[in-house]
């Protein structure tokens, strides 16, 4: 088991925040403080990212990431947790819903890039994009690949992060492109299993993400799961750049959906 550097703040029902690619728990620090007035908020650095341990020379497995998440929920001490995942973290949330549904009180998945749910031409387009960026990372380095990849994100600020966060995240970039990138973008949600598991779930898209491929994929996912899609403020990285708005929308979404009937 990798050391995953979990952090807890606040009291109340457990709320686990799963970060996306090239990030760590620091992306949620400000939002967690706001959410902590109502919830016991748990964040962690995913395996092989920032302050966590793990074999950084091996490919990441979504299944292993979900097992890590399950262990964290079990160690919190509650029987289950509200789970919020963004981007790659949303994909891990979907895998958890398929494999350990009993641990999920409610699940919010924000803009998971599940490109295999797009129309065939769009799926092929983005598969080619992924292969191209991966190839660039091998030939020209991960920093070059990151520049190419970031062009696909809509309205995400290019402003620098604080120095301490930036220093931690710099080590995640190479691991992402060499060992996480293809696994995340090759993930196909287990739709029937999630529905049969009757996991309470809502998908979320950013109002400033426009019609980005991950927005299209999220809406396709919602159609397959027969669940609602809610609009969050901001863009793909809203939790860091707009923490107050992100946290308040989580609260309002849970107030609206958490006690609704689960998916049939």
Q: What percent of the chain has pLDDT over 70?
A: 97
Neighbour-count burial of 221, counting CB atoms closer than 10 A to its CB (0-12 exposed, 13-18 middle, 19+ buried)? buried
Residue with tokens 């998916």: 263
pLDDT at 259: 58
pLDDT in tens, 12-47: 999 999 999 999 999 999 999 999 999 999 999 999
Rg (CA), the chain: 17
Q: Is residue 191 part of a domain?
A: yes
More confident of the two residues 3 and 37: 37
pLDDT in tens, 103-152: 999 999 999 999 999 999 999 999 999 999 999 999 999 999 999 999 99
Q: Is residue 79 part of a domain?
A: yes
Which H, E and C letters describe 191-214, residue by residue? Answer: HHHHHHCCCCEEEEEEHHHCCCHH
Q: Is residue 224 part of a domain?
A: yes
Helices (H) and strands (E) in the chain, counts: 11, 7
Domain of residue 249, CATH code:
3.40.50.1820
Domain total for the chain?
A: 1
More confident of the two residues 170 and 22: 22
Residue 264 pLDDT exceeds 70 = no
Query: Which residue(s) pair with 41 in the sheet?
Result: 9, 15
Q: Is residue 264 part of a domain?
A: no
Residue 262 pLDDT exceeds 60 = no
Q: Is residue 130 part of a domain?
A: yes
Question: What separation, in Å, do the N-terminal and C-terminal C-alpha atoms of the chain show?
Answer: 35
Residue 199 pLDDT exceeds 60 = yes
**Sequence-ordered alpha helix ranges (H) in 117-206:** 120-140, 142-150, 163-175, 181-185, 191-196
- The structure's pTM equals 0.95
What is the DSSP track for 32-51? HHHHTTTEEEEE---TTSTT
Q: Is residue 50 part of a domain?
A: yes
Q: Is residue 134 part of a domain?
A: yes
Q: Is residue 263 part of a domain?
A: no
* Contacts of residue 261, Cβ cutoff 8 Å, sequence gap at least 6: none
Q: What average pLDDT score do residues 217-240 get?
A: 97
Give the residue numbers spanning the domain of 136: 7-257
């Amino acid at each position: 088991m990798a050391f995953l550097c979990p952090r807890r703040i606040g009291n109340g029902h457990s709320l686990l925040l799963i970060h996306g690619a090239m990030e760590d728990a620091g992306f949620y620090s400000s939002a967690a403080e706001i959410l902590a007035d109502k919830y016991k908020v748990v964040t962690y650095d995913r395996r092989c990212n920032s302050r966590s341990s793990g074999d950084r020379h091996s490919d990441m497995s979504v299944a292993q990431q979900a097992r890590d998440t399950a262990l964290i929920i079990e160690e919190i001490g509650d029987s289950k947790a509200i789970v919020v995942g963004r981007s790659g973290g949303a994909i891990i949330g979907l895998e958890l819903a398929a494999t350990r549904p009993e641990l999920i009180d409610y699940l919010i998945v924000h803009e998971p890039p599940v490109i295999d749910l797009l129309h065939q031409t769009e799926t092929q387009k983005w598969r080619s994009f992924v292969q191209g960026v991966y190839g660039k990372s091998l030939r020209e380095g991960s920093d070059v690949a990151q520049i190419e990849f970031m062009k696909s994100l809509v309205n995400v600020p290019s402003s620098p992060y604080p120095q301490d966060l930036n220093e931690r995240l710099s080590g995640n970039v190479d691991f992402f492109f060499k060992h996480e990138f293809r696994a995340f973008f090759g993930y196909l949600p287990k739709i029937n299993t999630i529905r049969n598991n009757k996991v309470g779930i809502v998908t979320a898209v950013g109002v400033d993400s426009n019609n980005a491929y991950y927005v299209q994929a999220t809406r396709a996912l919602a159609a397959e799961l027969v669940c609602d899609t809610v609009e969050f403020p901001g863009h793909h990285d809203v939790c860091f750049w707009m923490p107050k708005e992100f946290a308040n929308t989580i609260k309002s979404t849970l107030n609206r959906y958490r006690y609704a009937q689960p998916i049939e």
